[in-house]
């Protein structure tokens, strides 16, 4: 079924009003905004139109009339923070996803600690995030990098407030499931990021061995390279919690209950027979998903599986291949709309999509 941009814009359940930079807006809970004309003035060409904005390819943010859309949405649904220095965090790291539930006002410190490279630098220089937050002044003078050097001046009061927020977010992460390819929540990385603990230990060993002949610039470059390698490794092909099954683009070790435990001459057909709607497709300590539908691709190389997800997005697409005696589960992407899920499910199967544009084409 063809989906027009107007239909995507019309999928909402609540509208709120706000003033932002001397303009009045109506804002929908799907992230769309409507700019009202200035008082006693004729509407301009940007007024009186519902829009998600236009993506700025340099920053990744959605803009409208030179204003970042997420700032308008956050103001309408979350108010204006008392501290004018606070910034808006996109929880799933997708700067095009401006739904209110994906936005949160955070301090500059909280926003910085949500960056994995910054986190690992702090862990390396201070031993742990908790140690840094207990006393920000322990950040070594060597931290001359302007991206983190300013963090030495964070007050103990601000650090304590940040720690309380991290602990609160950790609790929320424990009760709110995450979809398979969402980025880790703050609570998860500060309390459960076990792969990072090993990563940090290797760098602490180097420090304890007094490899101080390297310049700090060299050390920082090595940390960044190792961090990038570490996170790429997290998403690489690895064993799952199910024997005979592997996973790609899953950060968390995951179980696939429907995966066949025997192997015949028709492995993909055997798997499809188990993919019954509403059956649990995958699960781990943080979430589970259920089958909506599954089908063998036209070239018979893989199975496309559409599942429900929880959290910010509603649907997920997985492709399953059979290689060298293993079922390979690759997480492709998640979707906000059923139209987006249907489009990319069809494309995964090798079928022609005859519908129109979907929201996910722009996210």
Is the torsion defined by CA of 318, 196, 124, 215 positive or negative? negative
- Let me know: does 285 contact 252? Beta carbons within 8 Å: yes
* Range of 56-65, 96-105, 116-125, 134-143 with top mean pLDDT: 96-105
pTM reported for the whole predicted model = 0.49
Q: Is 148 helix (H, G, I), strand (E, B) or coil?
A: helix
- 114-156 per-position pLDDT tens digit: 776 677 778 877 878 888 888 888 876 545 566 677 788 888 8
Q: Are strands 87-90 and 103-106 parallel, antiparallel or unpaired?
A: antiparallel
Q: Report pLDDT for 154.
A: 85
The three-point CA angle 326-329-332 to 5° equals 155
Between 221 and 56, the higher pLDDT residue: 56
Cα–Cα dist 81/262, whole Å:
57
If phi > 0 it is left, if psi is from -120 to 50 it is alpha, else beta; for residue 232 that is alpha
Q: What's residue 98's pLDDT?
A: 93
**247 pLDDT above the threshold of 90:** yes
The token pair at 305 is: 């599986």
Q: How far apart are CA 19 and CA 98, in angstroms?
A: 17
Percent above pLDDT 90 for the chain: 36
Q: Are 83 and 109 within 8 A, CB to CB?
A: no
Share of the chain above pLDDT 70, in %: 76
User: pLDDT at position 337, please?
Assistant: 87
Residue owning tokens 């949160």: 104
Is 50:33 a contact under the CB 8 Å cutoff? yes
Element (H, E) at 76: helix 69-78
Residue bearing the bigger pLDDT, 336 or 210: 336
HSE-CB at 237 with a 13 A cutoff on CA atoms is 9
Residue 188: pLDDT over 60: no
3-class secondary-structure state, position 265: coil
CA angle, 121 then 230 then 244, to 5°? 150
Give the distance, in angstroms, between the CA of residue 256 and the centroid of all CA atoms in the same chain. Answer: 22
CA distance 91 to 185: 8
Instruction: Give pLDDT tens digits for 268-314.
Output: 999 999 999 999 999 988 788 999 999 999 999 999 999 997 655 68
pLDDT at 208 over 80: no
pLDDT at 83: 77
pLDDT of residue 246: 93
């Amino acid at each position: 079924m063809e989906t027009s941009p107007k239909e995507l814009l019309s999928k909402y359940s609540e509208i709120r009003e706000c003033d932002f930079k001397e303009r009045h807006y109506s804002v929908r809970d799907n992230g769309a905004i409507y700019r009202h004309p200035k008082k006693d003035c004729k509407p301009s060409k940007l007024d009186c139109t519902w829009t998600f904005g236009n993506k700025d390819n340099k920053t990744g943010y959605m803009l409208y009339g030179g204003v970042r859309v997420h700032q308008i949405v956050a103001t309408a649904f979350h108010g204006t923070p008392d501290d004018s220095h606070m910034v808006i965090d996109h929880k799933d790291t997708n700067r095009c996803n401006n739904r209110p539930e994906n936005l949160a006002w955070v301090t500059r410190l909280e926003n910085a600690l949500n960056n994995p490279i910054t986190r690992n630098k702090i862990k390396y220089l201070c031993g742990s995030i908790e140690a840094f937050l207990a006393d920000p002044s322990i950040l070594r003078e060597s931290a001359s990098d302007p991206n983190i050097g300013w963090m030495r001046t964070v007050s103990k009061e601000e650090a304590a407030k940040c720690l309380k927020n991290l602990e609160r977010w950790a609790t929320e992460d424990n009760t709110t499931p995450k979809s398979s390819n969402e980025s880790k929540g703050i609570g998860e990385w500060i309390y459960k990021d076990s792969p990072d603990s090993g990563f940090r230990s290797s760098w602490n060993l180097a420090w304890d061995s007094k490899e101080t002949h390297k310049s700090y610039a060299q050390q920082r470059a090595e940390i960044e390279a190792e961090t990038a390698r570490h996170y790429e490794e997290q998403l690489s092909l690895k064993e799952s919690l199910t024997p005979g099954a592997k996973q790609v683009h899953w950060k968390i070790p995951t179980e696939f209950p429907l995966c066949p435990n025997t192997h015949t001459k028709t492995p993909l057909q055997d798997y499809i027979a188990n993919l019954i709607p509403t059956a649990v497709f995958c699960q781990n300590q943080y979430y589970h998903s259920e089958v909506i539908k599954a089908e063998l691709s036209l070239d018979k190389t893989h199975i496309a599986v559409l599942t429900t997800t929880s959290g910010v997005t509603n649907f997920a697409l997985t492709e399953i291949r059979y290689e060298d005696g293993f079922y390979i589960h690759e997480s492709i992407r998640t979707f906000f709309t059923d139209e987006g899920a249907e489009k990319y499910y069809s494309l995964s199967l090798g079928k022609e999509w005859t519908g129109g544009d979907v929201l996910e084409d722009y996210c």
